[in-house]
Each structure stands twice: as structure tokens, then as C-alpha cells.
Amino acid sequence: MARIAGVNIPTNKLVNIGLTYIYGIGRKKADEICKKVGIPASRRVSELTDDETLKIRELIDSAYHVEGDLRREVTMNVKRLMDLGCYRGLRHRKGLPSRGQRTHTNARTRKGKRIAIAGKKMAPKG
Amino acid sequence: MTRSVWKGPFIDGYLLKKADVVKASGRHEVIKTWSRRSTIIPQFVGLTFGVYNGHKFIPVLVSENMVGHKFGEFAPTRTFSAHTAADAKAAVAKK
């Protein structure tokens, strides 16, 4: 069991894959970290020595924005937009896409699951 | 795509002049502008702009956080009247 940057415990996976379980670390940063600490790509998380885990932990703590800090930063940025009263902020408030995408159809990621409108007839086919 | 840094921020020239005049006069009057495309720069902080939205001038008091945004972002051009509770009821009744 390896605990890096708080709550993350990925085991049995390659180190660079396991690290991506941390919020804020994807493949690119994971590879970067492995390179800096000097871990071969074939190493698995369970095979890490204590020394190496410590090194990874220190590196992430010092050089990367990760987990809680990153989440807070993101929500602060969104909050800033909302308080500002600018267009992007309004879109965030309404839970709609903020970068000019269409909302006539699609945009389901932001809008969430479809809600049936009572009494609306389906368009006749053909 | 982000704008090239070497070009600097885009502002309509007349807006700068107007802002200077109002600042010099010391009175805080609304600067009416149609230039929604202009970037808000630090010199504008504290001034009030009336940003045209195609219909009327929306007063925007520029704060520090707004620097780097465009004027148009603060004056929405579309009105969306939300579905009211009455609408929803009417829809149900129709059924």
C-alpha cells in the first residue's frame, strides 16, 4: 500500500499509471515524475522502495498542484467568474456550457440527465 | 486561440481618450461606449462604463478583477426569460 499526496492508494499498477489516480496528475505529469525520481517505466507501485515513495511524495508536494489545493483553486476560479457578473460567470450559474457551444441539443455534460417536459408531444415522424 | 502577447491588449483608441478626460475631470460620469470588443485595462479600474448591448447602455463599474476581460462580457445581449412555474403548470394542464 502506497499513500501519496493524501488519500490515493493505487497498487499493482505500473508507477506512471498508478500516479494518475491522483487528482491533477495525468499521464504526462506522471511520466515526468518517474523520470525525475529515476524510476524505470516497468516498475510497479507495489515494488517501490520506501525511499522511492518518499522521493515521489516530496516531489509532488513541492512541485505540483494536486488534490485539495487544485480543487480549491478551480472552484475559486469559477467563483471569481460568478461574482464578477461576466458572461462566463452567468453560464456557470445557470449550469450551462460557457464557451459558446450549442445548447439547443447536446450539452448534456453540463445540463445533466434529460428531464421530460410534461405535455410535450413528440414530433410526428416522416 | 489566445491573442499573441506581442500585440498587446486590444482597445479602441477613442475609449482611452474618453477615459482620460473623465479621469481628469474627476467627476464620475458614465462613459457610454459601443466598443464591447475592447479589453479592460488597469487604467479603467474605478470608472463606470455604459456598455451597449444593442438595446440600452448597461452600467458597468470596473473592478480590479475585471481587468483582462472584454466589456461585452458584462452586458449580455440576449434576454432569456426562464420557464416560470405557471408555464410548467399550463403544460401539465394541457396534458
Contact status of B29 with chain A (Cβ, < 8 Å): no
Residue A21 lies in a domain: yes
**Residue B63 or residue B87, greater confidence:** B63
Contact status of B94 with chain A (Cβ, < 8 Å): yes
Are A6 and A39 part of one and the same domain?
A: yes
* Alpha-helical segments (H) within B1-95: 13-25, 85-94
CATH of residue A88's domain is 4.10.910.10
CB contact (8 A) between residue B72 and residue A85: no
User: How many folded domains does chain A comprise?
Assistant: 2
pLDDT band of residue A115 (cuts 50, 70, 90) is confident
Q: What whole-number percentage of chain A has pLDDT above 70?
A: 91
Does the structure show a pLDDT above 80 at B33? yes
Residue A95 lies in a domain: yes
Torsion angle in degrees (nearest 10) through CA of A13, A17, A18, A21: -140
Distances (CA, A) of A33 to A1, A10, A22, A68: 19, 16, 13, 19
Residue A119 lies in a domain: no
Q: Using CA coordinates, name the residue in chain B closest to A118.
A: B92
Across all residues in chain B, what is the average pLDDT?
A: 85
Residue A126 lies in a domain: no
From chain A, the residues in CB contact with B93 under 8 A are 119
Supply the range of the domain harboring residue A77.
Answer: 69-111
Are A57 and A89 part of one and the same domain?
A: no
What span, in angstroms and rounded, lies between the C-alpha atoms of A79 and A84?
A: 8
First to last CA, chain B: 48
What span, in angstroms and rounded, lies between the C-alpha atoms of A82 and B42?
A: 20
Last residue of a domain, one of A63, A79, A96: A63
Are A56 and A87 part of one and the same domain?
A: no
**Residue B34 or residue B82, greater confidence:** B34
CB contact (8 A) between residue A86 and residue B94: no
Are A6 and A46 part of one and the same domain?
A: yes
pTM of the predicted model, to two decimals? 0.74
Question: Residues in chain B, how many?
Answer: 95
CB contact (8 A) between residue B69 and residue A86: yes
What span, in angstroms and rounded, lies between the C-alpha atoms of A79 and A72?
A: 10
Residue A121 lies in a domain: no
Question: Of the candidates A83, A90, A118, which has its C-beta nearest B92's C-beta?
Answer: A118
By the 10 Å C-beta count (0-12 exposed, 13-18 middle, 19+ buried), A21 is classed as middle
> Hey, what amino acid is at B70?
K
Q: Is residue A44 within 8 Å of A12, Cβ to Cβ?
A: yes
pLDDT in tens, A4-13: 777 777 788 8
What span, in angstroms and rounded, lies between the C-alpha atoms of A60 and A56?
A: 6
Residue A118 lies in a domain: no
- Residue A126 CA, distance from chain mean position: 44
Question: Beta strand B57-61 with B48-52: parallel, antiparallel or unpaired?
Answer: antiparallel
From chain B, the residues in CB contact with A90 under 8 A are 76
Distance (Å) from the alpha carbon of A114 to chain B's nearest alpha carbon: 16
